[in-house]
Structure 1
């Protein structure tokens, strides 16, 4: 008898039922998984029902028996309508856990009870007992999730840590590191090391309180800490203005280690370090990207590359996801399209393992994956999503994938309620759900239109994930990537080889450094390709377009997506329409046109002053006429600066002023100069940090733009604007400690009847110097110094008494900016306070103080405050 793997067991009287290829549980579907569709091995009971003709029939029956013993009794005929019984409870639990911190558990449970009662009554009158049971199950899951959210929130309020934070107290504490330390900031005094941790003891009191440790000195020692390490020291507690932990803890000096990391974490750290060492000889992009592709270690990824990945919607590749795990599992199970067939491949087939043993081996591999990639919530989420594929292999039923995903959501939300409010968790679930439900149908439709099968599956997977995640991305960032699908398609073939070879380097590094370097060198080529795709895609002028933010923008994009999906079949029959759409997309990428203001909602047509949302940095613009603006600082990200100026319709910059040379004020300079005429660049008198100052001058020289220096007392006029430089004095006089922050250029600007004070990053010592100016007036608009930090001079704020105080600050920044005390003082002086991390980009209108208005693209909607 021939081997089972070489015999097609279907009898002539049977009809082969093709099973759709399994979708991976990650964000994007790797090219290596585009297996051909085929039928799984029939069950023995099916064979027994067929008449066997003599020896041939007995031989075929034996073949089927052997296939069943090796591959399990999975029957593709068990496919049917999607099993949605767990979807309702999962969604209700997700919503309850997310809403409880905002409105309270009693309100959530009460609302669920009313809704469940209504559903039960309606279902009971129509005789649908199944719907009643589903409503009861959903109500119970929602109540449990609300209770779990309450218990999780209690960790932030109980014990002595919250009280110490309110009073900014100091105490001896023992902390356990819960995540990888990372460096935040890269210039001067703002460079700190951030360490996620849990306080386990304060004095003699045992607690379990999540905190964030921030260390401004002894950085290298703290960066080397491994999760699960225990440290102790004299800790100073302060409130966490972000609300993500119970306190921000500051500890001076090197860490005092009181307990080593667990053995599993130590092994994982050793493997990760081995991968970084093996990748060290690679070119910069590949060296930084490879650990991120393999184990999610993005500590070495430069900011510009990270922004390029965001602009092209490739950031999911550097985050540990189900795709990473599925790519690793291909070594065990082979192509998932063949995983439940007799001709399956992979290591398990070579060893002759039955399907259930294959699933167990995959589970063991998953545990190792979790240990290496750190057992945090995001890694555990990836592991559970990856186990969806293993469950399908064990049961042979694709129908079990959607219930498994719903069960994963339910378990994870109950285990870690904070995931319910995590955008990353939502994006992961939406992408995985789209790959399980939408992508197979779209792939089949493309194949019917004679698209090659592998290309059809890849295109359907990328389009489905983008369609599902697009509205949420618009909700969070008020942008739309036009290159996401093509960049994902171009990067997709390289993801599998880079990940598999990278994992080979990770595993072999402790055994042979030479073999690890060889594997890392091989993995470096696909990693370089992925980085090149991200950089080239992000460099296109129309890579990103502004889109209405908030729920209205998300809803609009969802409607557009549904309309395109519904009309897609009809449009496919009109090749000229498809060609026209492709040409329009190409033109939008090469020569982008901003969305009309009536659609985007921002900026207003008569804006006078604008504060861009560029993250943790400053980027300002003052209008001097149609299409022309004076730009003050450019933020840390060229893409964000370019996008903001495009939204503002700025095509010419007569003067670009850089208040000082810190990265969060000057690194976006290439984006400001991209495609715009720049008349001159004006800078501060202090060339510190020297590297960035030299870089600014090189970029200006390459563009043929002259560079001048601003000094106190200088008065200039540009169109309707006039301004006076208040600081700094000519070098080297009057600069305290040669601090770049205290060398910031401060301007008093008059625009028609409005007065604006722009203060850069000036610290209190220099702010007190400004108080000596005899003619410093009350201002209408204040650009708050240093992103609203706690280091402000109250006397200066009382002197200028702004009507509108604007704070340029990044969401979730590790510095606690803006400080709650600063916001209170500003509001106490009568100012309306707006901040880019909450309110998005801000535009100021009006020509007199009475007409002063502020329009901002808030996270929820576009609003206008005014007159102020």
Structure 2
């Protein structure tokens, strides 16, 4: 792009449109009145500008038009995203039959190109009972409906179940909980199916290679991250390399540049090259799927190509601002999409900061090295305030990891793309290109693994608006001190402010951590890990450690185990096989001596059990009446029955355990009851089959849902109730009914969403439980 002074004229309209979009999507009912008001303001400002010819009035008109566009789109799209018919069905808890169109590859035998968990789709029709089908267009997230046969992007599926409406600003309109596998009713249309075939063949070719480089390659080249394991994904995130996990917007620039350069070498006219670039760009976006960063880069590339065709100069910030306006006017919900936000900020940081930072670094480093460092540093500085909202820490080795990994990314991308399009035509050449692309992909994975394994990988930072604001002050102060053309005194003042804030925050955070460590009860017996929406609870007794469930993902469980210094698991209990209870099991493979599990319902459940056994665990399937010793505790299995009967594997067949102190520990240890995810009906059946013991601690069933039997909690008569629940979960957990129930029976509620890590230890008096919370209760 042509160099010149930074043109900021389109930045205010883009920022205003973004802020208005972020506000209006959370209250779509106000979108239409807001749109009418903004169009009126735009008209008045434009009329005044024609009379008085003031640039400020023109700027006001342009900003009002930008905001009016996003409000108009939101007003039109909101009833489509959450139609009244679906909202009514969700409110009534009615069973619905849906026809959906997939937006990712699902189903079939688990392989490198098919996902096994919830999948995204667009609901197109809904049938309620015997009523006539209603046409809808809602984005949905579907659970428990993976079809038996493989379905590529754009396939039509039929399924039935219940639905839950999400918050208006969410990227999906509804959560669909299916009652069984979906049925494929129509294949993808031809203009999408060609890409499904290419993606599938490339994923299969990559899967035949070894190591994490093979898992990462499809993501780098075509945006297919289904083969990326939790451990690799966590390492990429911890080292600020997650933008390489899936194909990024930079790949669009690479594709267009290759087409333009190749055309120029062949003597093709500029118009033909631009037309070919647009056509290839559209095909590329379809192939890698329209992710936020790719769409942003694609729109920017089209704007650049059109400007070039018209002979107009191209400047980066105006192009980025215009692309942002176009996309927000098309889909205002992008304003709250973290991928889109980070993509825009990173691009803006690269355009504005790379040059000055590189020139600054050239004072002490060679040109090539300074550029390699300046690029990731510019992107990191621009994105870090938003990244702080996702994780309250700053990656220590992010810049170094990016400096080493980034140069390899274009080679993996280009070679991977060439392999993808070559495989169906010349399989031998495609296989060879895939093998060559594996080399830079493996390098990137190795860099992530190396830096993720180093100590002190993250610098703690205050979370929330205060932390974001402080980081912004430190960043701006540092940039002014280093780059701004201001007086030496001003630079020293900004630098001193940034240093004082950094030192003060580091001291404050370190002090808080020291106080937390000192205040933790060293004799804790039960620890509820803060792992989001799921369960992972540790017990200690007699020098042994048990883990009941593993939460939704390995990274969260690994953090908890590391924080508590837990290495070996003597007893692992998997209450049932839902993802929020077994998703983190990969973390403890090879570290478990003994495991007890309940009934499995799918092949994937048996596969998980087999993996545990392969890692050296002695696995036992248990049912009601089973018992055993764990340290100085005797455990008894209260549920499920040996013959399930009308109880299906899943929530209502959860393994329910009661731990009772025995021997010398009888008067000094905590008794506990773990209820899994049992609903009210299953709790009643369990109670009818035998008594529930009185305990000190109860692990509340199903993350605090309202589907509870009061008598179970009355008879348990626990002092403390532990609720494993994620912050801002879409299920409304824990419910007011459950919290009221605990309060009525005298059980004090602890919850991981507001308390963080919770440690429980016996008190000095009988029935007393000491509670330590990582976070101060609200």
TM-score using structure 2 length: 0.77
- Quote how far apart the aligned CAs of 1:431 are: 0.5
In structure 2, the CA distance between the partners of 1:767 and 1:171, relative to structure 1 (3 Å rule), is closer
In structure 2, the CA distance between the partners of 1:236 and 1:714, relative to structure 1 (3 Å rule), is closer
1:86: which partner in 2? 10
Local SS of the residue matching 1:492: helix
**Equivalences for residues 331-370 of structure 1 within 5 A:** 331-333=258-260, 346-353=261-268, 357-370=272-285
> In the TM superposition, what whole-angstrom CA distance separates every residue of 1:157-202 from its partner, at most 9, and x where no partner exists?
434222223223345544333443379999xxx9655351222353
1:46: which partner in 2? none
Higher relative contact order (CA 8 A, sep 6+): 1
**Equivalences for residues 208-357 of structure 1 within 5 A:** 208-212=136-140, 214=142, 216=144, 219-221=147-149, 223-227=150-154, 229-232=155-158, 235-240=160-165, 244-248=172-176, 250=178, 252-253=180-181, 255-257=183-185, 259-333=186-260, 346-353=261-268, 357=272
Which structure would you say has the larger Rg? 1
Q: Is the CA contact (8 Å cut-off) linking 2:705 and 2:738 kept in structure 1?
A: no
Q: Distance in 2 between matches of 1:852 and 1:807?
A: 16
In structure 2, the CA distance between the partners of 1:361 and 1:520, relative to structure 1 (3 Å rule), is same
> Which of the numbers 326, 336, 344 marks the counterpart of 1:421?
336
Local SS of the residue matching 1:596: helix
RMSD: 5.1
- Quote how far apart the aligned CAs of 1:405 are: 0.6
> In the TM superposition, what whole-angstrom CA distance separates every residue of 1:47-105 from its partner, at most 9, and x where no partner exists?
xxxxxxxxxxxxxxxxxxxxxxxxxxxxx6xx543221211111111111111243566
In structure 2, the CA distance between the partners of 1:352 and 1:281, relative to structure 1 (3 Å rule), is same
- Quote how far apart the aligned CAs of 1:311 are: 1.9
Q: Is the CA contact (8 Å cut-off) linking 1:328 and 1:499 kept in structure 2?
A: no
> Which of the numbers 143, 164, 181 marks the counterpart of 2:89?
164
> Which of the numbers 416, 421, 425 marks the counterpart of 1:502?
416
Local SS of the residue matching 2:421: helix
Q: Distance in 2 between matches of 1:792 and 1:184?
A: 36
**Equivalences for residues 771-782 of structure 1 within 5 A:** 774=691, 776-777=693-694, 782=698
> In the TM superposition, what whole-angstrom CA distance separates every residue of 1:682-736 from its partner, at most 9, and x where no partner exists?
64376986665565567679xxx999x9996667788xxxx65343689989998
- Quote how far apart the aligned CAs of 1:418 are: 1.3
Q: Distance in 2 between matches of 1:756 and 1:594?
A: 37
- Quote how far apart the aligned CAs of 1:509 are: 2.1
Q: Distance in 1 between matches of 2:221 and 2:717?
A: 53
Q: Distance in 2 between matches of 1:713 and 1:652?
A: 25
Q: Is the CA contact (8 Å cut-off) linking 2:107 and 2:147 kept in structure 1?
A: no
- Quote how far apart the aligned CAs of 1:536 are: 2.3
Alignment coverage as a number of residue pairs? 723
Local SS of the residue matching 2:8: coil
Local SS of the residue matching 2:14: helix
**Equivalences for residues 549-564 of structure 1 within 5 A:** 549-564=463-478
- Quote how far apart the aligned CAs of 1:822 are: 6.9
- Listed as ranges, the gaps of 5+ residues in structure 2 are none
Q: Is the CA contact (8 Å cut-off) linking 2:142 and 2:175 kept in structure 1?
A: no
> In the TM superposition, what whole-angstrom CA distance separates every residue of 1:365-404 from its partner, at most 9, and x where no partner exists?
2112122223465542331244466467668887621011
**Equivalences for residues 605-754 of structure 1 within 5 A:** 605-606=519-520, 610-615=527-532, 617-621=534-538, 632-635=548-551, 637-645=553-561, 648=563, 650-651=564-565, 657-660=571-574, 683-684=595-596, 692=608, 696=612, 725-727=635-637, 742-743=654-655, 745-747=657-659
> Which of the numbers 468, 482, 491 marks the counterpart of 2:382?
468
Q: Distance in 1 between matches of 2:238 and 2:29?
A: 38
2:438: which partner in 1? 524
> In the TM superposition, what whole-angstrom CA distance separates every residue of 1:817-844 from its partner, at most 9, and x where no partner exists?
87458735313425587765x6483436
In structure 2, the CA distance between the partners of 1:155 and 1:104, relative to structure 1 (3 Å rule), is closer
TM-score using structure 1 length: 0.70
Q: Is the CA contact (8 Å cut-off) linking 2:235 and 2:448 kept in structure 1?
A: yes
2:296: which partner in 1? 381
Q: Distance in 1 between matches of 2:619 and 2:246?
A: 42
Q: Distance in 1 between matches of 2:768 and 2:720?
A: 12
Q: Distance in 2 between matches of 1:289 and 1:402?
A: 32
1:16: which partner in 2? none
1:402: which partner in 2? 317
Local SS of the residue matching 1:197: strand
Q: Is the CA contact (8 Å cut-off) linking 1:286 and 1:528 kept in structure 2?
A: yes
Q: Distance in 2 between matches of 1:184 and 1:485?
A: 39
Q: Is the CA contact (8 Å cut-off) linking 1:742 and 1:761 kept in structure 2?
A: yes
Q: Is the CA contact (8 Å cut-off) linking 1:637 and 1:667 kept in structure 2?
A: yes
Q: Distance in 1 between matches of 2:164 and 2:26?
A: 19
Q: Is the CA contact (8 Å cut-off) linking 1:658 and 1:666 kept in structure 2?
A: no
In structure 2, the CA distance between the partners of 1:269 and 1:103, relative to structure 1 (3 Å rule), is closer
1:131: which partner in 2? 56
- Quote how far apart the aligned CAs of 1:555 are: 2.4
In structure 2, the CA distance between the partners of 1:447 and 1:389, relative to structure 1 (3 Å rule), is farther
2:777: which partner in 1? 864
> In the TM superposition, what whole-angstrom CA distance separates every residue of 1:731-782 from its partner, at most 9, and x where no partner exists?
9899988989634544479998987643345576477436766563486x64
Q: Is the CA contact (8 Å cut-off) linking 1:183 and 1:194 kept in structure 2?
A: no
In structure 2, the CA distance between the partners of 1:733 and 1:172, relative to structure 1 (3 Å rule), is closer
> Which of the numbers 53, 68, 71 marks the counterpart of 1:143?
68
Q: Distance in 2 between matches of 1:185 and 1:230?
A: 20
Local SS of the residue matching 2:358: helix
Q: Distance in 2 between matches of 1:729 and 1:855?
A: 30
Local SS of the residue matching 1:659: strand
Structure 2 residue 737 is the aligned partner of structure 1 residue 825: yes
In structure 2, the CA distance between the partners of 1:141 and 1:624, relative to structure 1 (3 Å rule), is farther
> In the TM superposition, what whole-angstrom CA distance separates every residue of 1:421-447 from its partner, at most 9, and x where no partner exists?
111111111101100101111012112
- Listed as ranges, the gaps of 5+ residues in structure 1 are 1-21, 23-75, 334-345, 585-591, 858-862
Structure 2 residue 678 is the aligned partner of structure 1 residue 759: no
Q: Is the CA contact (8 Å cut-off) linking 2:673 and 2:695 kept in structure 1?
A: no
- Quote how far apart the aligned CAs of 1:317 are: 1.3
Q: Distance in 1 between matches of 2:757 and 2:266?
A: 63
Local SS of the residue matching 2:530: coil
Q: Distance in 2 between matches of 1:480 and 1:447?
A: 25
**Equivalences for residues 61-80 of structure 1 within 5 A:** 79-80=3-4
Q: Is the CA contact (8 Å cut-off) linking 2:205 and 2:431 kept in structure 1?
A: yes
